[in-house]
Structure 1
Amino acid sequence: MNGKKLIAVGLPMIAVTYGLSRFSYGLMLPYINGTLHMDPSVSGFISSLSYIAYCLAIIFAMIGSNKISPRSILIIAGLSSIIGLSIIAISTNAAVLGLGIFLAGLSTGFSSPPYADIVSTEVEIKLQNQTNSWINSGTSIGTAFTGAIAIFMVDSWRETYLIFALIAVLVLIVNYKALPKHNIAKKKIAVGFTKKEWLRSVQLILASLFIGISCSAYWTFSRDFMINLENVPPYLGEWFWVMIGVAGLLGGTAGVFINHFGLVSAYRISIFILSTSSLILGTFPDNNILGFLSPILFGSSYIFMTGVLIVWGISVFKVNPSFGLGVPFLLLALGQAAGAIFSGQIAGLSGYDTLFVSASIIGYLTLAFKPRVN
């Protein structure tokens, strides 16, 4: 299976599991709140369920990578996405909504590590960074798509989630037919990692955790913040998510950038831009020009940053690529889970302005970490 074919099936799956199943909650939150009437603390807690589910699933995917074929794990990812999205569509209260968000969140954790395993065995080495980065950019496609659908569907959030579920069914069928059926995981050695690798991963782990805390506020509350500002044109709030997603396509170039300029430069640039996007949102929320700039910076730098974490992780956990992707993404999700809960509390007590400025400061602090490339 060549890299282009793998991107063709992997990118849509990531678009479904990340864009539709996970990050769409922040987009649809204003409409869901219009029906279920949740306060920010409840909204933040429900958002954290998606990240907690992600953590559990990605641990399973990493541990099970030596026993279960990547294709089988991806089928589980597709099924959990379909079930979760369907439950969200029919939810009548916060508890049912939380269950749907949790099940949909499982799909994200199941989907990423298997592709890293397939890439490591099916794609030539010089193209692996680019292939992993482009598959990862499916998040941006899914985000842009959810934004566009929300504009046309207005506040019909239940119907929107049913559409998402149908799309998830189609993507699962494509992956079921196209992915290698043999158990690639059996080609690996029994031990998934070494002590030396774990020691070298300390900065990767800390960086991923604090980046997750920093960006969770943006994913959960940025659009809700924008559409409720009196001096911001309605179209800016409506197209906010689309801008994040379209800009995220630039993140697909992470692998190429790293090959040319190095991992350290790629990391620092992405973190600086990511943090600046939150600072702009919290400091100049009523400035229309900066209102456009913030989501563009966030979308492009977030996807780019996750591409950097993939390359950094795989360079650390060379024995098992699924660990290389899984470990930083696990810590990123843990940070996002904690950040979502704290974000809801901060937003309720001090307002969104304080929330986004605080998130940017945490992000800037992660510039102190430095990827190890040897």
Structure 2
Amino acid sequence: MNTKKLIAAGLPMIAVTYGLSRFSYGLMLPYINETIHMNQTTSGFISSLSYIAYCIAIILAMTLSNKVSPRSILVVAGLSSIIGLGTISISSTPVVLGLGIFLAGMSTGFSSPPYANIVSTSVEARLQNQANSWINSGTSIGTAFTGAIAIIMTDSWRETYLTFMIIAILVLIINYKVLPKHQTLEKKVTAGYSKEEWRHSIQLIVASLLIGISCSAYWTFSKDFMLNLDSVPTYLGEGFWVIIGVSGLLGGTAGVFINKFGLKRAYRISIIALSTASLILGIYPDNHIMGFLSPVLFGSSYIFMTGVLIVWGISVFKTNPSFGLGVPFLILALGQAIGSIFSGVIADILGYDVLFVGSSIIGYITLLFKQKSRLQ
């Protein structure tokens, strides 16, 4: 199918499943806590449910990729997003809220692998990195949108999630009509499980796990941290998520950057920027310039980094694009689930400053890994 048409359908779906359904929890947490009172440990555990759900869903999506059409899997992604967002909007206890977060989180796992398959079979080779990167950048648009809506609707978090649910319905309808109804399924994909490819994927897997642990604190607690600092201007605290999202649009250039400068350089730049964002938040939270620079670095580098992981994964598992995208994203989410749980505990015991500095150190450690692929 036409590349622009595919991006036009895929980008908003990723915006809904990632930005609205998954990462909006960290944005809305300060307002949710005004109604459903939770300590940081409980908040962190509920956040981890989104990542756990993602892990389950992406495993199912990869398993079904050679049996069910990408369009059908994306319909499931849309439905889980809609039901999850609706459940969140009516939640009155941590249990119901956690259920909604879990269901909404499943939509992310179901949404990414199908697009990797569609791109690999429907887009010419020279445009595939760009197509994957731009579809992936929907996360940043969704994040910016959630931030803008939250500012407009102030503390009406239930109405906000109802609005998100309506948007999810519209995006699902668009994808249902635009994506190919019948796509040839590759039945003979087995190289994704070969010893050689698994050997090349070890550093990818470990790096993805540590990156997930490193950035989980930022997604869950950064805005809550900024809003509770008396020295931070209201406009910066309220607009924190918008800055992250808008900056994330730069991440859509990952495919172009990799094609021009190589995977290794792209990886190193993204990790340095991502880790520095957390370090700044831990050391200079009261500095207005640094308080603005931190979300800019995080938003742009997170989307860029996930684009790098997509290209790295697909370059390792060449014969199974769905598997190549799914493995690093699965491990990334697993790391985020682990990180979210421990982040809440650490924040309760040691405070946010220690949490963010520690997160940055874990991120810098991943610079030690090398990208073993044909894309150097």
- Both proteins in one fold, TM over 0.5: yes
Structure 2 counterpart of 1:79: 79
Structure 2 counterpart of 1:50: 50
- Secondary structure class of the residue paired with 1:184: coil
- Aligned equivalents of 1:55 and 1:317: distance in 2? 19
Does the aligned pair in 1 maintain the 2:223–2:241 contact within 8 Å?
Answer: yes
Query: Over residues 67-126 of structure 1, what are the superposed CA-to-partner deviations in whole Å (9 max), with x where a residue is unaligned?
Result: 010000000000000000000000010000000000000000000000000000000000
Matching of residue 316 in structure 1 with residue 316 in structure 2? yes
- Aligned equivalents of 1:188 and 1:158: distance in 2? 46
Structure 1 counterpart of 2:294: 294
Which letter does structure 2 place at the counterpart of 1:323? F
Query: Over residues 187-209 of structure 1, what are the superposed CA-to-partner deviations in whole Å (9 max), with x where a residue is unaligned?
Result: 65356432211111000000000
- Aligned equivalents of 1:46 and 1:66: distance in 2? 32
Structure 1 counterpart of 2:167: 167
Does the aligned pair in 2 maintain the 1:193–1:319 contact within 8 Å?
Answer: no
Cα deviation, residue 319, structure 1: 1.1
For 1:233-252, what aligned pairs fall within 5 Å after superposition? Answer: 233-252=233-252
Query: Over residues 166-186 of structure 1, what are the superposed CA-to-partner deviations in whole Å (9 max), with x where a residue is unaligned?
Result: 000000000000001113324
Structure 1 counterpart of 2:259: 259
Does the aligned pair in 1 maintain the 2:191–2:317 contact within 8 Å?
Answer: no
- Secondary structure class of the residue paired with 2:155: coil
Matching of residue 156 in structure 1 with residue 156 in structure 2? yes
Query: Over residues 243-302 of structure 1, what are the superposed CA-to-partner deviations in whole Å (9 max), with x where a residue is unaligned?
Result: 000000000000000000000000000000000000000000000010000000000000
- Aligned equivalents of 1:107 and 1:188: distance in 2? 27
For 1:54-65, what aligned pairs fall within 5 Å after superposition? Answer: 54-65=54-65
Does the aligned pair in 1 maintain the 2:54–2:109 contact within 8 Å?
Answer: yes
The normalised TM-score by structure 1 is 0.99
Which letter does structure 1 place at the counterpart of 2:27? L
Matching of residue 124 in structure 1 with residue 124 in structure 2? yes
Equivalenced residues, count: 374
Cα deviation, residue 3, structure 1: 1.2
Query: Over residues 123-153 of structure 1, what are the superposed CA-to-partner deviations in whole Å (9 max), with x where a residue is unaligned?
Result: 0000000000000000000000000000000
Structure 2 counterpart of 1:340: 340
Q: Which runs of 4+ in 1 moved over 2 A?
A: 183-193
Structure 1 counterpart of 2:4: 4
Matching of residue 367 in structure 1 with residue 367 in structure 2? yes
The normalised TM-score by structure 2 is 0.98
- Aligned equivalents of 2:252 and 2:242: distance in 1? 16
Structure 2 counterpart of 1:37: 37
Does the aligned pair in 1 maintain the 2:191–2:197 contact within 8 Å?
Answer: no
Structure 2 counterpart of 1:226: 226
Does the aligned pair in 1 maintain the 2:280–2:294 contact within 8 Å?
Answer: yes
Does the aligned pair in 1 maintain the 2:137–2:248 contact within 8 Å?
Answer: yes
- Aligned equivalents of 1:339 and 1:163: distance in 2? 29
Distance 1:73 1:84, change over 3 A: same
- Secondary structure class of the residue paired with 1:46: helix
- Secondary structure class of the residue paired with 2:271: helix
- Secondary structure class of the residue paired with 1:319: coil
- Secondary structure class of the residue paired with 1:154: coil
- Secondary structure class of the residue paired with 2:319: coil
Which letter does structure 1 place at the counterpart of 2:154? V
Which letter does structure 1 place at the counterpart of 2:223? R
Does the aligned pair in 1 maintain the 2:46–2:98 contact within 8 Å?
Answer: yes
Structure 1 counterpart of 2:198: 198
- Secondary structure class of the residue paired with 2:181: coil
Structure 1 counterpart of 2:355: 355
Does the aligned pair in 2 maintain the 1:117–1:185 contact within 8 Å?
Answer: no
Give the RMSD, CA atoms, in angstroms: 0.8
